[in-house]
Amino acid sequence: MRLIPRDVKFFELFAELSGNLTEGAKLLRTILADPRDLAMRVNQVQAIEHKGDKATHAIITKLNQTFITPFDREDIHRLASSLDDVLDFVNSAALRLVMYKILTPPPVSAELAGIIVLQCEELAKGVSLLEKNGKVMEHCEEVNRLEDMADNVSRRAIADLFENEKDPIQLIKLKELYEVLEYATDKAEDAANVLEAIVLKSS
């Protein structure tokens, strides 16, 4: 029978994961606001994403080897996966700058990345309060409010693009950049929903 090993510290692992995610989101925001040294800094985002991949894999491996977990197994799995998805889209946005040679990203893209940063900070707070059963819900609600805001910002940005951008290839590039940023905020909302489920089940 597999029992929970003394060294499996899910809370610490999640703190690490959400800290790493916030770091990646902040770097993306910096790049979008000022795209100097683009290639070098996009590599840094990718390194953060690789680190996140490994941390997520470590959580899931430990989860599968552990018989007793502090929470519902499926929820731990989902929380780790959705945090990893946010970072994937953060990395994907950074990569598009290089792939599509977007040398002067429009200000609205940095605005969207700023919303992602705020969401990551709320998620990190929510995760840190899980162990002490603190006020997690408020942070989840804030993540959802921010997702709604990002939705409106990206919708307006895409409508503007169709209104003003006459070069179809440029339109394709920027539309995808906005969409990828918006997907990241959706995944942050997914993570908040899992956090909420964990709290409700344990209350």
Contacts with its own copies by CB under 8 A lie at 60-61, 64-65, 74, 95, 98-101, 155, 158-159, 162-163, 166, 168-169, 171-173, 175, 193, 196-197, 200-201, 203
Q: Which is nearer to its own copies, 37 or 57 (CB)?
A: 57
Q: Which is nearer to its own copies, 47 or 98 (CB)?
A: 98
CB of 33 to its own copies, least distance (A): 23
Q: Which residues of 66-89 are buried (b: 16+ CB within 10 A; e: fewer)?
A: beeeebeeebbbbbbbbbbbbbbb
CB of 155 to its own copies, least distance (A): 6
CB of 101 to its own copies, least distance (A): 7
Token pair, residue 151, equals 């939705």
CB of 18 to its own copies, least distance (A): 21
Question: How many other CB atoms are there within 10 angstroms of residue 158's CB atom?
Answer: 17
d(CA 45, CA 113): 13
CB of 197 to its own copies, least distance (A): 5
**Which among 13, 28, 128 has a CA at the least distance from the CA of 76?**
13
d(CA 182, CA 77): 23
Q: How far apart are the first and last CA of the chain?
A: 28
Task: Indicate the residue type of 40.
Answer: M
Q: Which is nearer to its own copies, 117 or 174 (CB)?
A: 174
Q: Which is nearer to its own copies, 149 or 171 (CB)?
A: 171
Q: Which is nearer to its own copies, 6 or 167 (CB)?
A: 167
